Amino acid sequence: MKTPLLSLLLLTFLIGCNQNDQKTVAQLNNFPYLEADIAGLSAGYDAGEYTITDVTQAYLDRIEAIDRTGPTLRSIIEVNPDALAIAGELDAELAAGKRRGPLHGIPIVLKDNIDTHDKMSTTAGSRALKGSKPLQDSEVAKKLRAAGAVILAKANLSEWANFRGQNSSSGWSGINGQTKNPYVLTRNPCGSSAGSGAAVSANLTVLAIGTETNGSIVCPSNANGIVGIKPTVGLISRSGIIPISFTQDTAGPMARTLTDAVLTLGTLTGVDEKDSKTLASKEHALTDYSAFLNPEGVQGKRIALFTAPLGENAEVDSLVRKSVRTLKRLGAEVIEIDAIAPREAGRNSFQVMLHEYKDGLNAYFASLGENAPIKNLDELIAFNEQDPIELTYYNQAYLKMANEKEGMESEAYRTALNNLLRMSQQEGIDRVMNEHNLDAIIAPTGSPAWSTDWLNGDNSHLGSSSPAARAGYPNITIPMGDIHGLPVGLSFFGRAWSEPTLIEIAYGFEQNTNARITPTFRANDEE
């Protein structure tokens, strides 16, 4: 039985906690650069309203206040200790009349499977790579530095880009734990680029670079209420990115607006001799896609609604139908299709990934040199079996399955690859778009974020990333609305190298819907 004094003290404590919680929530979005974009920050630099150092410090403070304390999003694995020094250099260059590129002074976060040759590690979220220092920058990091970006931090991810084992929880890594969704903290941020999506949405950075094999850019963009561009495979070099699939992997920008994502996309393109996939981009890549940010870009376009993902969530379906009405109002012709590629495409994709995963990981470990903490896939599997944390919630079945595969010269691999490309491209997206004379295909990107569950893993109800991912074709997701405060996106995908057309359509849609909402960090669904 509590004494009256003890009860009074407890009550006072609880009231104080509630007041502090309310105060914290009220202050979370009291941030001078809330929803800031590239154009706005650049104009402020030019006008002398603030410096790049000021902005960088503000984002670092916000990471400390929201990611490390407060809601503790856990979207950031490591902050760049040289961020302020880089900002100072960029300030000096700007004062001298030099601007490196469109990202000069813009804070950006990289998913932690993208190499940087600096004081930060590249870990893929794995304790096996803790402290691993790549011997050189990834091509993506090189291009971002050349464009003037401030590489602010490394983002948490689903460990090994969510291709380690069964029943994994998106956004969990052995090194950094579970990333939370900034809209409702008990819900999941989705996909392997979970930290990148949550950090952009929560205004911990202006931009992020994610990677996708199947869904890992568009799914976290969907769940975190932001824009994601998964480009054609080969448009952006993958050299220096910890791989899963040579056939399907790509990096891509994640931002709060399509304009910012498009400006970033142009800085990342180009042929890289270290990545043979980029050779095909020579006749297709642009260094500036901003000309396609056309508010009238929907006019006259012929679009197909891919209906297979519908029927799983009535409220998602309602938002999709509303989006279709918007596209028609803006001048598009919209038809419906119920299938794209044969079902067997998925089975072949999985086999291709397993073969390529083994080859790619072993090559990556070799790139780390003599001091690599892990030398091959055998060592990684052995490390996980001995580590006290790594296998706590889910297994490493995919690593083991990949390790058992024959080399990439095997008949089994070549057969699976040929089947995958034929089914997903010629018999898939290309066939559908040719038959119906389409400019783009649309579909709901995914469901509202599900509740995080470490024991049972992800509980995704719908998605549309596979057709474009398996084909290696582009996919752009744009927020189309929210369901009980949880955002949902609409995907625009199409032929190889059709980024300009997709940007036109997606931009017209975005500018006429403005569906992006700022997160409020609700503790649970009942708040």
Active site residues: 111, 192, 216
Q: What is the DSSP track for 98-165?
A: ---STTTT-EEEEETTB--SSSS---TT-GGGTT---SS--HHHHHHHHTT-EEEEEE--SHHHH-SS
**What is the identity of the amino acid at 120?**
M
Q: Would you call 361 exposed, middle or buried from its count of C-beta atoms within 10 A (0-12, 13-18, 19+)?
A: buried
Element at 218 (helix H, strand E): helix 218-223
Q: CB-hemisphere CA count at 13 Å for 71?
A: 35
Rounded to whole angstroms, the Cα distance separating 499 from 252 reads: 12
DSSP-based three-state secondary structure for 251: strand
**What is the identity of the amino acid at 209?**
I
Q: How far is CA 370 from CA 192, 278, 380, in A?
A: 29, 29, 16
Beta-carbon contacts of residue 108 (< 8 Å; ≥ 6 apart): 144, 149, 150, 151, 152, 205, 206, 207, 208, 209, 264
- Tokens 């989705």, located at residue: 190
Contact present, 124 and 131 (Cβ < 8 Å): no
Rounded to whole angstroms, the Cα distance separating 206 from 109 reads: 8
Closest by Cα among 150, 149, 154 to 134: 154
Angle, CA 377 vertex, CA 375 and CA 381 arms, to 5°: 110
Q: Would you call 250 exposed, middle or buried from its count of C-beta atoms within 10 A (0-12, 13-18, 19+)?
A: buried
Query: In residues, how long is the chain?
Result: 527
Rounded to whole angstroms, the Cα distance separating 510 from 8 reads: 53
Angle, CA 258 vertex, CA 279 and CA 282 arms, to 5°: 10
Contact present, 205 and 152 (Cβ < 8 Å): yes
Phi, psi (deg, nearest 5) at residue 184? -135, 115
DSSP-based three-state secondary structure for 392: coil
Phi, psi (deg, nearest 5) at residue 269? -80, 165
Contact present, 128 and 374 (Cβ < 8 Å): yes
Contact present, 208 and 199 (Cβ < 8 Å): yes
